[in-house]
Structure 1
Amino acid sequence: MVSLKQMINLKTEEEIEIIRENNLLVSKTLAEVAKHIRPGVTTLALDAIAEQYIRDNGAVPGFLGYQGYPNSLCVSVNDTVVHGIPSKYELREGDIVSIDCGTYYKGFYGDSAYTFEVGEVNPEVKKLLEVTKESLLKGIAYAIEGNRVGDISAAVQHHAEANGFSVVREMVGHGLGKSMHEEPEVPNYGSRGRGPKLQTGMVLCIEPMINLGKKQIYMERDGWTIRTSDRKPSAHFELAVAIRKGEADILSTFKFIEEVLEEKRR
């Protein structure tokens, strides 16, 4: 039996820089998509914009064809938690939409996600988005050498549940590198001091998936789309980090997205 420690691929500084390049491209792709999010746009149109942008920048979409996935983005609207397949669905005023994007460049992957508001959303849903993003940042604060995966998980869970929301159990964060999903898994719930020890050279995707209602989910017949069982909204934010001493090195960023959103508000 192979130990978990052997399965975790530690990256060199050069490899981390390539993963950073990927994640910055993912971040810029999400910002490009953000420019076009409005009522009336189809999720398939957003997918086409992302694919073109990724290819124009010398990379290939990391999700397209991955385990048979048919598109470049996962576009998850309202009660879809993750892995929503782009379609002719037209976004509507008051929707929320999680856009999850990946790239493949120089032999490595990038992966990040952001949940957007479409026009004016319900205040309770707006709070769900804020708390989910805060949960991500609280988890990242524990992504440092010497801690354990469970420290990240517990921080995410505590903040989400303290604000009255529920944490999806079955879908988790993951390692990132030459494969899209590597060890270790990074759950969004758990106990401090448990799980694999964090070491410099590990690259993790931390990605809270937080529900407005109950934590239970189910998969659609398409084999991809994950929805909340009570059909209430779910939010999803994801950043990639490299483990360091003292403070996590965040490889992707929401800066470009939030600049676009600020411009759109003006």
Structure 2
Amino acid sequence: MVGAMSLRPRILSSFVGDRFLHSTPPLHQLFRYNPGSKHVTLQLSRTLSGLTNLLFNRRNLDELSNNKRKSLKPGKVSPRRPVPGHILRPPYVKSKQPPGIASGPEVHDEKGVEFMRASGRLAAQVLEYAGTLVKPGITTDEIDQAVHQMIIDNGAYPSPLGYGGFPKSVCTSVNECICHGIPDSRALEDGDIINIDVTVYLNGYHGDTSATFFCGDVDEEARQLVQVTKECLYKAILICAPGVDFKKIGKTIHDHADKYHYGVVRQFVGHGVGRAFHADPVILHFRNNDAGRMMLNQTFTIEPMLTIGSSNPLMWDDDWTVVTEDGSLSAQFEHTILITQDGAEILTQC
């Protein structure tokens, strides 16, 4: 997947990694992948991108390099876990090619809304359980095993498993990992932060959520990053309602992140979710002029990713794991929401 084709323009959903998607202009012209350097970049003017990094997305690199935290390294990935044959699988499981972002918004009738509530509730329960497992010494593969078992015990399919060849049932993104961390043999250490991203496919509908958890004694700098990222998500949800411009989500998140001089990752986005894992609309978490307004009974995710240092992502050779280029910490929170007459209902909460 990384090669000549990777020069084609595309956008990236929160779970697409180094995969190509199709979208309508001008969004599809924004993002480019540099195959030699493993960088995923947003095509902005040199002046604008440089100014943004200078003011908001950088900390002193010497300060970051003096951090006692070890750089994240890949561990051993265990074999793919089986799913009982009676459990309904999403259509993409039989193919190693991800379907990309489906055209058209996920807007539901009354029955569909109830199915979305059910899948969202299960995803929230699984995430809550996964968070209780976070402690020094546990491996991310053990977290994956527990998540996998809970999902299939409830008659659902773990949506990440087999999506574009992704080998595990959950994403576990530790410290400088922005997103798409593959669970492996690495044990969590005291002071780590970890984002756990859970999506379940229940009765033909996906529920998608994530949160960042503390492992042991976490320093104040990391705690503030996590808290502000969570605040960005909830502030964005509060402005959602029928007829509201999607671009207000990005402005709300970016404005709050700027107060703390945190970087906002631009290359990974929220998305419509429901019968499709990823659908229109594309939800940008930074200031933008994208068109489009929210509709009644529409479901989509909001999932801001903030960084202490550079917001530029670097992809590992596994073509999934995305880390900050300077090794600085990153945090993420995500909910699936339903647009209602009164605003927005969070579907992914217990």
Is contact 1:151–1:194 with CA below 8 Å preserved after alignment? Answer: no
Q: CA deviation at 1:96?
A: 0.3
Equivalence for 1:214: 310
Is contact 1:114–1:236 with CA below 8 Å preserved after alignment? Answer: yes
Q: CA deviation at 1:246?
A: 2.9
Larger Rg: 2
Question: CA separation in 1, counterparts of 2:268 and 2:110?
Answer: 29
Paired residues for 1:5-84 under 5 Å: 7-84=104-181
Question: CA separation in 1, counterparts of 2:299 and 2:341?
Answer: 13
1:129-180 deviation per Cα after TM superposition (whole angstroms, max 9, x unaligned): 0000000001101211110110111101111111221100000000001111
State which of 164, 184, 192 in structure 2 corresponds to 1:95. 192
Question: CA separation in 2, counterparts of 1:9 and 1:39?
Answer: 40
- Report percent identity of matched pairs: 35
C-alpha spacing 1:225/1:3, structure 2 compared with 1 (3 Å): closer
Paired residues for 1:159-174 under 5 Å: 159-174=256-271
Question: CA separation in 2, counterparts of 1:75 and 1:144?
Answer: 31
Q: Tell me if 1:231 matches 2:312.
A: no
Question: CA separation in 1, counterparts of 2:258 and 2:24?
Answer: 32
State which of 234, 242, 245 in structure 1 corresponds to 2:341. 245
Write the letter of the residue equivalent to 2:312.
Answer: Q
Equivalence for 1:181: 278
Question: CA separation in 1, counterparts of 2:151 and 2:185?
Answer: 21
Q: CA deviation at 1:219?
A: 1.1
Is contact 1:241–1:249 with CA below 8 Å preserved after alignment? Answer: yes
Is contact 1:217–1:226 with CA below 8 Å preserved after alignment? Answer: yes
Is contact 1:63–1:73 with CA below 8 Å preserved after alignment? Answer: yes
Is contact 1:186–1:206 with CA below 8 Å preserved after alignment? Answer: yes
Is contact 2:106–2:275 with CA below 8 Å preserved after alignment? Answer: no
Query: Match of 1:179, SS?
Result: coil
Q: CA deviation at 1:9?
A: 3.2
Q: Which runs of 5+ in 2 are unaligned?
A: 1-22, 26-102
Q: Tell me if 1:204 matches 2:303.
A: no
Question: CA separation in 2, counterparts of 1:168 and 1:194?
Answer: 17
Question: CA separation in 2, counterparts of 1:156 and 1:17?
Answer: 29
Query: Match of 1:39, SS?
Result: coil
Q: Which runs of 5+ in 1 are unaligned?
A: 257-266
Equivalence for 2:183: 86
Question: CA separation in 2, counterparts of 1:235 and 1:110?
Answer: 20
Paired residues for 1:250-261 under 5 Å: 250-253=346-349, 256=350
Question: CA separation in 2, counterparts of 1:246 and 1:33?
Answer: 32
1:180-237 deviation per Cα after TM superposition (whole angstroms, max 9, x unaligned): 111001011124x742111102101000011111211111110100100111010010
Whichever structure has more helix as a proportion of its residues is: 1
Give the TM-score taking structure 2 as reference length. 0.70
Question: CA separation in 2, counterparts of 1:110 and 1:238?
Answer: 11
Question: CA separation in 1, counterparts of 2:231 and 2:221?
Answer: 15
Query: Match of 2:145, SS?
Result: helix
- CA RMSD in angstroms comes to 1.7
Aligned residues: 252
Question: CA separation in 2, counterparts of 1:248 and 1:39?
Answer: 36
